[in-house]
A and B are shown apart, each in its own frame.
Chain A
């Protein structure tokens, strides 16, 4: 007699087993970037990959947990931007479903959209909780814009979008680069529509 719910429970377990490991990817890359003091964050690569492999809920879980663990280990303010991670996961899932990562130019375009979304969602947190200044390189740009006469809110949003362009486009390109080079036998078990839409696997 076969075990019941065999197929469904395999997929659920795979999700549960993969999520903590993807949290590790977020943390690992984020930590390297912090140590090397690069002008990007690269702290959502795991979120993007998980959203493409397992859907937006799993992606959001990875993002939020990654930021939670990051804030108790390497970067305390990370947890305040958890909502941004949820939005990143939803966006990537939706963009992936329509083939937004099928080619290099599409990935860049999707990355730009992601940058705008991330900046807009993060802006209220930066404005109200941090008073517009988070202490990193983007804040220098915010201050500059504010000194030039823009309102604080506009300065936060515009500087956020400019800074996120490089970061989010790079992260989308990294995620796509990875998914294109992984053996198909390993990602076929994820059975997600995005993987076929973006030619990571063939149906």
Chain B
């Protein structure tokens, strides 16, 4: 049975996991910690996925090694053996680092929220492998916010630590503000849009859809289906080869106005935190001027519990808080439509629910929301979310 640590944010679980690893550590043992951002745990010493696997000694013979390799093949990562590990998606990198570290001579492995980015169809074979006591796997301790979604039996590790109060349960704030001047979104349409990074290899093929404001859309699709490419097209980052976009029924060339109609909150918050204090981050606008939407900024600050952190450097904050600051900054830089890419990574159940409520509130205020997530718990919380699946470059 897996040992797990289902605790709230800011209760010191990362420190606990690292301390557990170092407890009774032997001189030449192997005690690995895997965190939220998988690219930090790729060795950086291997040019291809195959070399990465070789480096972690997966090819030498043992039953466990053979099973892990066959799991790599089962999930299709063997087709990426000649790719650069940094070219893989977040979910693929998470899977790669977990599998590479499962074979470390029965020492310890601490996994901190690394499973959250995995595709649903990979979870079953992976957890079957991890739960199977026949294999010679390391002693594991897992801290994850989505344990209820994984079909696996687990036992709770003893853990007592006080919660430092940074998690304001702000559901009562969310709906109390009413309308504070949010701009309502207009309808967003795609008409036969095609695009690819190379002309002869289209990622988005003749894609058409009508997005209605005030609705929440869940953009579904396998890795490589074009979700992130479509998001970038909607933000005006690339010009489609054919087709057009329309806002409120009027055709608009989004490429001429990058980032004007849609706000995109990225999966990795570190990609979009640019300033040296949380205050500056929230008050900056696209035109380099300070925001005059002080009522929106004040509301967002209360919403995400950032009052005490305004003068801090975002880089000094833990990952979970940086994620919240990036969400807050996206909202402060107000747009009609928002795309949220994995907004609940690292957030515990209660904070996840709060983010769900914020999104529902925004939809009620007339905003249009597109969500990209692998969390079933998160999506099931929205009764009226519209599922749209991208496959073969179209819906």
Residues of A within 8 A of B (CB): 1-4, 17, 20, 181-186
CB interface residues, B 36-62, toward A, < 8 Å: 44
Please give the distance in Å from B82's CB to the nearest CB on chain A.
Answer: 20
| Pick from B24, B314, B316: contact of A1, CB under 8 Å | B24
B316 near A185 with CB under 8 A, answer yes
B315 near A1 with CB under 8 A, answer no
B315 near A186 with CB under 8 A, answer yes
**B27: which A residues are within 8 A, CB to CB?**
1, 3-4
B315 near A20 with CB under 8 A, answer no
B313 near A183 with CB under 8 A, answer yes
Please give the distance in Å from A23's CB to the nearest CB on chain B.
Answer: 12
In the assembled complex, 20 residue pairs joining A and B whose CB atoms fall closer than 8 Å, in A order, are A1-B24, A1-B25, A1-B26, A1-B27, A2-B22, A2-B25, A3-B22, A4-B27, A17-B44, A20-B44, A181-B276, A182-B315, A183-B313, A183-B314, A183-B316, A184-B313, A184-B316, A185-B315, A185-B316, A186-B315
Counting chain B CB atoms within 10 Å of each CB, the highest count among A3, A4, A181, A186 belongs to A3
**B22: which A residues are within 8 A, CB to CB?**
2-3
Complex alpha-carbon distance, A178 and B27, angstroms:
38
A183 near B24 with CB under 8 A, answer no
**A3: which B residues are within 8 A, CB to CB?**
22, 25, 27
Complex alpha-carbon distance, A186 and B314, angstroms:
12
Complex alpha-carbon distance, A182 and B276, angstroms:
8
**B276: which A residues are within 8 A, CB to CB?**
181
Complex alpha-carbon distance, A20 and B24, angstroms:
33
Please give the distance in Å from A73's CB to the nearest CB on chain B.
Answer: 14
**B26: which A residues are within 8 A, CB to CB?**
1
Complex alpha-carbon distance, A183 and B314, angstroms:
8
B28, closest chain A residue (CB) = A3
B276, closest chain A residue (CB) = A181
Q: A1-B25, A184-B316 are in contact. List 8 more A-B contacts (CB 8 A).
A: A2-B25, A3-B22, A3-B25, A3-B27, A183-B314, A183-B315, A184-B313, A186-B315
**A17: which B residues are within 8 A, CB to CB?**
44
Complex alpha-carbon distance, A182 and B24, angstroms:
35
**A1: which B residues are within 8 A, CB to CB?**
24-27
B45, closest chain A residue (CB) = A20
Complex alpha-carbon distance, A184 and B44, angstroms:
25
What 0/1 readout, one digit per residue, does chain B (311-326) give for beta carbons within 8 Å of chain A?
Answer: 0011110000000000
The 5 closest A-B pairs by CB, nearest first: A183-B315, A183-B316, A183-B313, A181-B276, A185-B316
A185, closest chain B residue (CB) = B316
Please give the distance in Å from A59's CB to the nearest CB on chain B.
Answer: 20
Complex alpha-carbon distance, A20 and B26, angstroms:
30
Please give the distance in Å from B195's CB to the nearest CB on chain A.
Answer: 23
Complex alpha-carbon distance, A3 and B314, angstroms:
33
**B313: which A residues are within 8 A, CB to CB?**
183-184
Complex alpha-carbon distance, A79 and B313, angstroms:
38
Complex alpha-carbon distance, A181 and B121, angstroms:
42
Complex alpha-carbon distance, A186 and B322, angstroms:
15
Please give the distance in Å from B117's CB to the nearest CB on chain A.
Answer: 22
**A183: which B residues are within 8 A, CB to CB?**
313-316
Please give the distance in Å from B330's CB to the nearest CB on chain A.
Answer: 21
Please give the distance in Å from A202's CB to the nearest CB on chain B.
Answer: 14
A183, closest chain B residue (CB) = B315
**A184: which B residues are within 8 A, CB to CB?**
313, 316
**B44: which A residues are within 8 A, CB to CB?**
17, 20
**A20: which B residues are within 8 A, CB to CB?**
44
B22, closest chain A residue (CB) = A2
**B315: which A residues are within 8 A, CB to CB?**
182-183, 185-186
Complex alpha-carbon distance, A184 and B22, angstroms:
26
**B25: which A residues are within 8 A, CB to CB?**
1-3
Please give the distance in Å from A181's CB to the nearest CB on chain B.
Answer: 5
Complex alpha-carbon distance, A17 and B40, angstroms:
11
**A185: which B residues are within 8 A, CB to CB?**
315-316
What 0/1 readout, one digit per residue, does chain B (128-154) give for beta carbons within 8 Å of chain A?
Answer: 000000000000000000000000000
CB interface residues, B 2-36, toward A, < 8 Å: 22, 24-27
Complex alpha-carbon distance, A186 and B24, angstroms:
28
Complex alpha-carbon distance, A78 and B314, angstroms:
37
Complex alpha-carbon distance, A26 and B164, angstroms:
41
**B316: which A residues are within 8 A, CB to CB?**
183-185
A6, closest chain B residue (CB) = B22
Please give the distance in Å from A187's CB to the nearest CB on chain B.
Answer: 10
Please give the distance in Å from B298's CB to the nearest CB on chain A.
Answer: 25
Please give the distance in Å from A26's CB to the nearest CB on chain B.
Answer: 17
What 0/1 readout, one digit per residue, does chain B (238-265) give for beta carbons within 8 Å of chain A?
Answer: 0000000000000000000000000000
**A182: which B residues are within 8 A, CB to CB?**
315
Complex alpha-carbon distance, A17 and B313, angstroms:
24
Please give the distance in Å from A180's CB to the nearest CB on chain B.
Answer: 9
A184, closest chain B residue (CB) = B316
Please give the distance in Å from A77's CB to the nearest CB on chain B.
Answer: 25
A181, closest chain B residue (CB) = B276
Please give the distance in Å from A169's CB to the nearest CB on chain B.
Answer: 23
Complex alpha-carbon distance, A52 and B22, angstroms:
31
Please give the distance in Å from B83's CB to the nearest CB on chain A.
Answer: 19
Please give the distance in Å from A195's CB to the nearest CB on chain B.
Answer: 16
